[in-house]
């Protein structure tokens, strides 16, 4: 997985993001993790719908189009949900810890992926 961050203009929205690069990374997602720390997220590309079967914690979802525009946000998706769909235009999905991100500030915004700078 690639690591980086998501920005809205000059404001860092999610500082620690892993972005899927391969099919199996998308399939595994957050399965097997006990929690997702505040400030961390998983950006699944391509992805327009998710499930939380087998997960141990609730997540918030941010569905984006191919250009990074926020289409919709879904708060507090509990484990064991079969499918949450972001609409026909959704191409990317951001998963973050439930309640950590102020989803209301993201509606209609454009998020930009920035790759982590190598040290």
Query: DSSP states of 42-102 as a string?
Result: EEESS-SEE--TT-SS-EEEEEE-TT-BEEEEEEEEPTT---EE--TT--EEEEEETTTS-
Q: What is the separation of C-alpha 110 from the centre of its chain, rounded to a whole number of angstroms?
A: 14
- What's the pLDDT tens digit per position in 43-96? 999 999 999 999 999 999 999 999 999 999 999 999 999 888 888 999 999 999
- What's the pLDDT tens digit per position in 61-75? 999 999 999 999 999
CATH 2.40.30.10 fits 2-114, yes or no: no
Total residues found in the chain within this entry: 119
Nearest to 15 by CA among 117, 119, 84, 90: 117
Domain boundaries, the chain: 2-114
């Amino acid at each position: 997985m690639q690591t980086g961050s998501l920005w809205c203009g000059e404001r860092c929205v999610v500082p620690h993001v892993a972005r899927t690069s391969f099919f199996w990374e998308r399939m595994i997602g957050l399965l097997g993790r006990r929690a997702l720390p505040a400030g961390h997220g998983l950006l699944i590309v391509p992805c327009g719908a998710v499930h939380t079967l087998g997960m141990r914690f609730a997540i918030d979802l941010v569905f984006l189009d191919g250009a990074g525009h926020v289409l919709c946000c879904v708060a507090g998706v509990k484990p064991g949900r079969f499918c949450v769909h972001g609409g026909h235009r959704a191409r990317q999905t951001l998963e973050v810890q439930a309640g950590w991100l102020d989803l209301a500030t993201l509606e209609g915004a454009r998020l930009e992926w920035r790759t982590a700078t190598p040290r």
